[in-house]
Amino acid sequence: MNISGNTILITGGGAGIGRALAEVLHARGNQIIITGRREDVLKDVAAANPGMAWAALDVADPAAVAAFGEQVVRDHPTLNAVILNAGIMKPEDLKAQPFDFATVEATIATNLLGPIRLTAALLPHLQAQPAATIMTVTSGLAFIPLAATPTYNATKAAIHSWTESLRHQLRDTAVEVLELAPPAVATDLMPGHAENPNSMPLADYTAEVIGLIERGNTPRGEILVERVKPLRFAEANGYEAVFEMLNG
Ligand SMILES: NC(=O)c1ccc[n+]([C@@H]2O[C@H](COP(=O)([O-])OP(=O)(O)OC[C@H]3O[C@@H](n4cnc5c(N)ncnc54)[C@H](OP(=O)(O)O)[C@@H]3O)[C@@H](O)[C@H]2O)c1
């Protein structure tokens, strides 16, 4: 992916990692479109970054995703990249009675079905571009679970697997498929997460990610900062010890 000159749609671009990537990629000379559910947040980010576009979109709403997919390519015919970043992370007690399926269903709808549906809506347009990029956003927890957030980990593992299949199916096209797998990064993804000393500062994370993309340092299509490698490669380097470190 070239670091400038693209038209990039970023879901969940009003906050956290999505906002940070939106701002740095905007500054690098890309047309950015941010989406999310909170219009006030999107408007503020767009106002702070003149030229940035925004649109409200709940990625968990299938009809809204399909309609948005048609509208965004009419509004932005040069669209050639999407960062499928919107996501939620909630703790779940699997022993709770009665068990509450609301978190399970919302997490799957947002983190798993959302990116799959939006990709389906945009793929014909992206395939018609001279060069295009689809970037999924998984997690180090796709590779080893944080037991407190079971459905979250499961959706990220699923999107990792789905990304590999998408990349293979698109291997003879001009659509590049990248996977951004963050470590713990200081955002409001979970209460207390931004203040947690184990969370990587957002600006440091963003700078390292942009450097990796710029240098084309994305082996297997994965964008991995140093901090996530113990999780990404836990299977090869002592899974039990890493599991204990995360969950002990
Ligand atoms: N921070 C971490 O430690 C970390 C680690 C690994 C992976 N990640 C992944 O990075 C991505 C971004 O997370 P973050 O840390 O930046 O969290 P965040 O600050 O909570 O941002 C999440 C973004 O997703 C949007 N979003 C949530 N549900 C949505 C929905 N149904 N429709 C549309 N937008 C929705 C939110 O906007 P609205 O609320 O306005 O809709 C918000 O902009 C997520 O996929 C997350 O799983 C984060």
Domain ranges of the chain: 7-247
Is the CB of 44 inside a 6 Å radius of any atom of ligand 1?
Answer: no
Residues 232/179, Cβ–Cβ less than 8 Å: no
CA-nearest residue, atom 42 of ligand 1: 12
Orientation of helix 16-27 relative to helix 39-48, angle to 10°: 30
Note the pLDDT of residue 100.
87
With DSSP H G I counted as helix, E B as strand and the rest as coil, what are the percentages for the chain, rounded to 5?
Answer: 45, 15, 40
Is the CB of 72 inside a 6 Å radius of any atom of ligand 1?
Answer: no
Give, for ligand 1, the residue of 89, 112, 163 to mutate: max count of ligand atoms closer than 8 Å to Cβ: 89
Nearest atom of ligand 1 to the alpha carbon of 141:
6
Based on the residue annotation, tell me whether 152 is a catalytic residue of this protein: yes
Is the CB of 187 inside a 6 Å radius of any atom of ligand 1?
Answer: yes
Residue 183 one-letter amino acid = P
pTM (predicted TM-score): 0.98
CA distances (Å), origin 136, targets 85, 104, 139: 7, 20, 10
Residues 112/159, Cβ–Cβ less than 8 Å: yes
Is the CB of 38 inside a 6 Å radius of any atom of ligand 1?
Answer: yes
CA-nearest residue, atom 45 of ligand 1: 87
Is the CB of 115 inside a 6 Å radius of any atom of ligand 1?
Answer: no
Is the CB of 36 inside a 6 Å radius of any atom of ligand 1?
Answer: yes
The correct CATH number of 7-247 out of 3.40.1160.10, 2.60.40.10, 2.102.10.10, 3.40.50.720 is 3.40.50.720
Is the CB of 188 inside a 6 Å radius of any atom of ligand 1?
Answer: yes
Nearest atom of ligand 1 to the alpha carbon of 37:
41
Considering the candidates 11, 152, 154, 206, report the single residue annotated as catalytic: 152
Question: How far is Cα 7 from Cα 25, in angstroms, rounded to an integer?
Answer: 10
Cα 21 to ligand 1 centre (Å): 12
Cα 187 to ligand 1 centre (Å): 9
Show pLDDT as tens, one digit a residue, over the chain (248 residues): 999 999 999 999 999 999 999 999 999 999 999 999 999 999 999 999 999 999 999 999 999 999 999 999 999 999 999 999 999 999 999 999 999 899 999 999 999 999 999 999 999 999 999 999 999 999 999 999 999 999 999 999 999 999 999 999 999 999 999 999 999 999 999 999 999 999 999 999 999 999 999 999 999 999 999 999 999 999 999 999 999 999 99
